A and B are shown apart, each in its own frame.
Chain A
Amino acid sequence: MKRRTLLAGLTIGGLAMAGCSNSSSGGGGGEAVDVSDTEMEATIEFAAWESDFDWDSVIKGFNGKYPNITVQITKSPFKEFFTRLQTQASGDNLPDAFMMNGPNFQLYASHDILVPFDSAVEAGELDFSNYPEAMEELYTYDGIPYAVPTSYDSIGLWYNKDLFEKAGQELPTDEWTWDDLHETSKAISEALKDDGIYGFAGGAYNQELFYNLIFQAGGEVLNEDATKAQYSSEGSREALQFLRDMVEDGSSPSIQTTADTSPDELFKSGKAAMVYGGSFRVQGYVDSAVGESIQVVRLPKGKQRGVVLHGGAIVANASSENAAAAAAFAIYHGSEEGQQIIGESGASIPAFQGTEQAYIDAHPEYDLTIFPESAEEYGFPYPVSANTQAWLAVESDMIPKILAGDLSVEDGTAQLDEKIDALLAEEADQ
């Protein structure tokens, strides 16, 4: 709960500072842009990765308000998206507007690349109280917001009714605890062993799996100001140990298995009765073999409730000559109208609070309300730092080993902290 007060405090502080504006210290201030001219002419390039949003309709809607701005969209595969951006950055040739995510945001914000949106907030064009707190925190740097949120993801417990029936177990509820999860998984794994079916799909994803457990156990990934890693804190260790135990006693498959058959693949092919799945999985589940036998509930609680909140946003290139047009596009897509279009695709939860209904309605057969609800009630922001990708690489090297038992939880988390602390220290130098 202390965390939430802090979050609230940051939010208010951030808004207050944004209101005061022009506090652009060394790292971070592009010039403020004015988006009030709806007749402005420009052609802008918008770089995106394939995300199932109906960008064409968003652009059409945008042209309703700004008829003379042409938006050209360039799509790249997600895997290579940021490599491509970096290459363009080396030639000072970043697109006018582009999609952004949490792990990469601070890198760009701290180098004066992005257009600040504080002036837009001041002018009333943009209001962050429309978005979840965690989103605002994710995309604010040095007290100034540099992005307009697109959508966010929350995590839920998906389960397969048919498999539960087959194993004779009671269906999960919103009131479940970690122990319920463990016991039921074990029972299902044992009952359906001969079919090669597991109770819980497990895996080693961070956003979709262990970050949630870490927060629920009262642990942290990074400390408050992102200077030290906290994998060896009590709560974090508890969470990792819990997952490790499930692998060990057969409730979830071995890490080697989930390495080449991801948890969602196992779930989709009916080889796992439960999985922690993000709100972005809906589209994939609907088309799968189990689409008609599944349902979703809130994540089980540990010491407390918690869910990782991460979302995408659109940023604008401050050194582009069309920065104003790009910012206008970003703001439009984050407005109620734009967000409505985004929600209708059903790919992810639109960030504008109130428009989630479009997402929920896209697939009424599933209880999708739990996603925005849990995000609002107990969402923790996804952990980031100035150069998140660097230590994420180390995390993804070591966590699978810890969960697989190649390293003990004690030793593994200690080593992990050591390595990441070193990287975080380097960030401070840059």
Chain B
Amino acid sequence: MTQAETVASAPGGTADGAARGGRRRVPNPDGIWPWLFVLPTLLGLAVFYFWPVIQTAYYSFTKWGVFGGAEFVGLDNWIGLAESGQVPRALLNTLLYTGMLLLGIPISIYIASLLNRPGLRFSAFYRVLYFAPFVSMPAAIALVWGMIFNSQYGILNQFLGIFSVPRIYWTSTEWVALIAIGIVGIWSSLGFNIIILGAGLRSIPSEMYEAARIDGASNWRQLISITVPLLSPSIFFLTVLSVIRGMELFDLIFIMIGDSNPIKGDTQSMVSLFYREAFISNNKGTGAAIAILLMLIIGALTVVQFWVQRRRARS
């Protein structure tokens, strides 16, 4: 029962929510311990991440080619980015993909609730089926899905052709390509989502469902009024994770959108734009600017999510 209370009262918690919020804190004889606990992480982070971020921030104000010689150019890169018009589109594409990943969460909830039905046989077998995509190598996955989506010989078009759906150019039509990529993204993340949600579902006492059934609630109603609210911490966790993964979109574009593709320029993500600037056009300064921009955006999105979660938990 402590746990149910904990669930209800503990919001995701922002960084400083832990300090405020409605929680009693242990009066503090912690002394030097906290520092010892975080020291290894902070040290490693300082060396491998923090210093590079400073470097990257610096380089975003320089013109930096492949072979050294970073020349300070002030805001040129940033202005160039603003003017090139590529960033807004790349950002939009990335957000759309992230949105699709988030769409995967309701699907996962549904599947997880089916899997969790009492007395369902073969549930372990299903679980393995759903988890398998999560396990495989992104490069191979992108290749196989590329073949599935192929406009000429892909299975998907052949299947749709049975219903007289005209041939769709999945990876070479603007916007449709993003949907195709999103489908692959959802497909590969379903498994993990289902595991997490499944675990969350198991800790919902079945008495609640029984009570609801006695009151005449339908399966759907039970889902909406009992399952989803009680799952909200898991759901919150999965949304934060999905946003992080979504903003990192790169591999799928790199492999599925080739050079002869007319929509290539329009179907970049923030990271593929970074890669293109930094490693292909040899504009590492501009690339650095994109990286910093991306960091700020992801940070902002995360803060927003925490804030929303806190408000919901409070109400």
Contact = CB atoms under 8 A, between A and B. Distances in A.
A401 B152 CA distance: 20
B153 A390 contact: no
Nearest to A82: B279
Given A86-B66, A111-B66, A260-B170, A269 B153 contact: yes
Contacts of B159: none
A257 to B, nearest CB: 6
Contacts of B17: none
A255 B260 contact: yes
Contacts of B153: 261, 269
A241 interface: no
B260 A261 contact: no
B280 interface: yes
B151 interface: yes
B306 interface: no
A390 B281 contact: yes
Contact of A400 (B65, B170, B261): B261
Contacts of A89: 66-67
A324 interface: no
A172 to B, nearest CB: 24
Interface stretch (A144-152, A231-239, A391-399): A391-399
B152 A271 contact: yes
Interface SS, B side: loop
A54 interface: no
Nearest to A112: B67
B260 A397 contact: no
A406 interface: yes
B261 A393 contact: no
Interface in A230-259: 255-259
Interface in A393-430: 393, 396-398, 400-401, 403-404, 406, 430
A343 interface: no
Contact of B151 (A107, A256, A387, A404): A256
Given A396-B260, A396-B264, A404-B262, A261 B150 contact: yes
The interface size bin for chain B is 20 to 34
A400 B266 CA distance: 12
Contact of A261 (B151, B259, B280): B151
Interface residues of A, number: 37
Interface string B134-170: 0000000000001001111100000000000000011
B88 to A, nearest CB: 16
A90 B287 CA distance: 15
B265 to A, nearest CB: 4
A37 B281 CA distance: 40
Contacts of A258: 260
Task: Find the residue from B151, B170, B282 having the highest chain A CB count within 10 A.
Answer: B282
Interface in B261-286: 261-265, 275-276, 279-283
B260 A400 contact: yes
Interface in A202-238: 203-205
A92 B67 CA distance: 9
B262 A255 contact: yes
11 contacts: A83-B275, A89-B66, A111-B67, A204-B260, A255-B260, A260-B149, A260-B150, A260-B169, A261-B152, A400-B262, A430-B63
Interface of B: 63, 65-68, 146, 149-153, 169-173, 254, 258-265, 275-276, 279-283
Given A89-B67, A259-B169, A261-B151, 9 more contacts: A90-B68, A107-B282, A111-B66, A111-B67, A204-B260, A259-B261, A389-B282, A393-B281, A400-B262
